Amino acid sequence: MAVQRTFSILKPDVTRRNLTGAVNAKIEAAGLRIVAQRRIHMTLSQAQAFYAVHKDRPFFGELVEMMTAAPVVVQVLEGENAVQAYRDVLGATNPANAAPGTIRKDFALSMGENSAHGSDSAENAAVEIGQFFAASDIVG
């Protein structure tokens, strides 16, 4: 598998508890390089657009509210098989089901406040990266 990029968001539960360095340490220990990173306060329209695929789900309102309640850190991660490698170190969406040592097992608070987002495919990663970064922001 070639070198690939994926998109990551460190969520408000991470920034609020001052855990961005702790999560980044796990990302780097998994062999992923942080090739772009920016701390932002996501707007309502950015959050609604980012999670548009979930707009009919019962948790959509809660999700958008949570993602805009405090700063987040948006990132581009690069490495061998980066999409799957990041999902492996993230752990299951529900932290109760996450494997030991994963980001969500160690840090997540709940299904909603689950510490970080990772793209689910290379195609979606490219779309998601484009929502927050210009090509010139990414320095590999």
Residues in contact with ligand CMP by CB under 6 A are 54, 59, 62-63, 93, 111-112, 114, 117
Task: Residue 88: count other Cβ atoms within 10 Å of its Cβ.
Answer: 13
Q: From CA 36, how far away is CA 31, in angstroms rounded? A: 15
Pick 78 or 120: Cβ nearer ligand CMP: 120
- Quick one: CA dihedral 22, 25, 29, 32, positive or negative? positive
Please tell me which residue in 19, 23, 117, 118 is annotated as part of the active site. Answer: 117
- Min dist CB 136 to ligand CMP, Å, is 26
- Min dist CB 32 to ligand CMP, Å, is 16
- Min dist CB 110 to ligand CMP, Å, is 7
The answer to whether 76 touches 35, Cβ cutoff 8 Å, is yes
Instruction: Look up 54 and say whether it is catalytic.
Output: no
Q: From CA 50, how far away is CA 98, in angstroms rounded? A: 24
- Catalogue the active-site residues: 117
